[in-house]
């Protein structure tokens, strides 16, 4: 089989109710571009009938391929596995829950053909809970500040990449990552376009509150050491301030005498700093944990079987 022009990459975790609808809209959208294509689904350890449905699709449709993980390794690992297996000139990622309209694909392709190497997307009228939207706002702003990158919407996974960006991503062997940010580090001419956004068609978000926090830690600490540096800086400022505070207390002792009533104020101050210290240990621990993960050099994901690939 010759090399396809487009590779569509879709992570799937318990999406049995969405897959058929997705295909109904995705196939015409991709065929309509007139380019050769492959569609690679990664089944990220689904416990429902997703794999069965995917395999049936792979049998029926030319160019549909399935990578089956042995367990749940996460959305970003699922995408990475598909990246490694992909060969298209343009690689497009998209969610399986129809939140990203497949009809936008031609616009992404047009941007790459204009010479951009990474096409990000900004969700227009994002259909998520107010809480998720607000959290994203905070994450987008702070990630741009911390990493020095410029992206308006890190969370939208409907994105297009030029082959060489994907090849470079494939050379990274880190075991936790955040693909849009990783791609941004290899992009020389990225752009962002506005795309539509829908509510999740069926089922529930696969991200619990805890998983979301983990994901955002991947984004923050995976791409910068600024959190560590900020913490060190804060430590220095605090110690300088506490020296000043001690001096003030000393002088006050000579002028007015020792103070006792302020005991609880002191507690408040103490708790504040203890909080800061614990947070700092946490941040350090986050990095140490990541270093540990990298040194162990465990496989990042395990493929049980692949369907639809030749060889």
Residues that bind ligand UDP (CB under 6 A): 11-13, 15, 44, 72, 74-75, 78, 95-97, 99, 200, 205-207
Q: How far is the CB of 10 from Mg ion (least distance, A)?
A: 12
Pick 207 or 287: Cβ nearer ligand UDP: 207
Least distance to ligand UDP from the beta carbon of 250, Å?
55
CB of 223 to ligand UDP, least distance (A): 19
Residue 186, φ and ψ in degrees, nearest 5: -100, -5
Phi and psi, residue 73, nearest 5°: -105, 0
The answer to whether 153 contacts Mg ion (rule: CB under 5 A) is: no
Q: Which is nearer to Mg ion, 49 or 200 (CB)?
A: 200
- Quick one: which H or E segment has residue 214? helix 209-222
Strand partners, 7: 38, 91
Site string for Mg ion, 72-111 (x = CB under 5 A): -----------------------x-x-x------------
Helix (H) or strand (E) run with residue 37 in it: strand 37-43
Distance of closest approach, residue 227 Cβ to ligand UDP, in angstroms: 23
- The residues in 182-211 that bind Mg ion, with binding defined as CB under 5 A, are 200
Burial of 114 (0-12, 13-18, 19+ CB in 10 A): exposed
Q: 150-153, long-range: CB within 8 Å, 24+ apart, which pairs?
A: 151/120, 151/180, 151/181, 151/184, 151/190, 151/192, 152/120, 152/122, 152/192, 153/120, 153/121, 153/122, 153/123, 153/192
Task: Compute the least distance from the CB of residue 98 to ligand UDP, in Å.
Answer: 9
| Closer by beta carbon to ligand UDP, 99 or else 143 | 99
Estimate to the nearest angstrom the gap between the alpha carbon of 149 and the chain centroid.
Answer: 14
Question: What is the binding site for Mg ion (CB under 5 A)?
Answer: 95, 97, 99, 200
């Amino acid at each position: 089989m010759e090399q396809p022009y487009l590779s569509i990459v879709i992570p799937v975790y318990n999406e049995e109710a969405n897959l058929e609808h997705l295909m109904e809209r995705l196939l015409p959208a991709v065929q309509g571009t007139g380019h050769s294509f492959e569609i690679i689904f990664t089944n990220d350890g689904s416990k429902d009938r997703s794999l069965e449905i995917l395999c049936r699709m792979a049998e029926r449709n030319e160019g549909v391929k399935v990578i089956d993980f042995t367990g749940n390794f996460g959305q970003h690992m699922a995408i990475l596995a598909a990246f490694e297996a992909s060969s298209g000139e343009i690689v497009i990622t998209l969610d399986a829950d129809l939140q990203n309209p497949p009809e936008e694909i031609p616009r992404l392709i047009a941007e790459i053909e204009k010479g951009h190497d990474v096409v990000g997307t900004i969700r227009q009228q994002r259909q998520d809970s107010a809480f998720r939207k607000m959290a994203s706002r905070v994450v987008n702003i702070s990630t741009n500040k911390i990493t020095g990158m410029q992206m308006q919407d890190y969370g939208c996974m409907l994105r297009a990449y030029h082959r060489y960006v994907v090849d470079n991503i494939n050379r990274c062997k880190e075991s936790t990552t955040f693909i849009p940010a990783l791609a941004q580090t290899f992009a020389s001419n990225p752009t962002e376009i506005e795309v539509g956004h829908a509510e999740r068609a069926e089922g529930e978000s696969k991200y619990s509150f805890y998983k979301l926090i983990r994901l955002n830690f991947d984004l923050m600490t995976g791409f910068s050491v600024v959190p560590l540096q900020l913490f060190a800086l804060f430590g220095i400022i605090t110690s300088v301030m506490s020296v000043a505070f001690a001096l003030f207390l000393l002088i006050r002792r000579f002028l007015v005498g020792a103070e006792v009533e302020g005991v609880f104020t002191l507690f408040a101050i103490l708790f504040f700093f203890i909080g800061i210290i614990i947070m700092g240990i946490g941040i350090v621990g986050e990095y140490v944990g990541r270093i540990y993960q990298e040194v162990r050099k465990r496989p990042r994901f395990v493929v049980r079987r692949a369907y639809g690939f030749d060889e």
